[in-house]
Amino acid sequence: LLFAGYGIYYGMVEGVARAFVADLVTEDRRGTAYGLYHGVVGLTLLPASLLAGWLWQAISPAAPFFLGSGLAFVAMLGMMALIKE
């Protein structure tokens, strides 16, 4: 049941992220932008998972979720400040 929920979430978020990347660059640089985006995401997933595992064991099972929600809030503020429509 949790994986089904994660699949629905990932399906909604991944399309939005790709559309956002496409909106940021010109059409001739779109492939490079997608490659850079997915490269950065891939390189950050391993240390993020290691940090989440360490927080889970060293502090509490709730700690990775609190860190994630705090970082998401900071990212939201950054996007609101930098992205103008």
How large is the average pLDDT for residues 32-57?
95
For the four alpha carbons of 16, 19, 24 and 30, in that order, the dihedral sign comes to positive
Residue 74 has pLDDT above 80, yes or no: yes
Which among 30, 12, 13, 8 is positioned nearest to 21, based on CA atoms?
30
Residue 28 has pLDDT above 80, yes or no: yes
* Contact (CB, 8 A) for 21 and 37: yes
How large is the average pLDDT for residues 40-64?
95
The HSE-up count of residue 34 (CA atoms within 13 Å, CB side) is 12
pLDDT at residue number 58 = 98
Mean of all residue pLDDT scores within the chain: 93
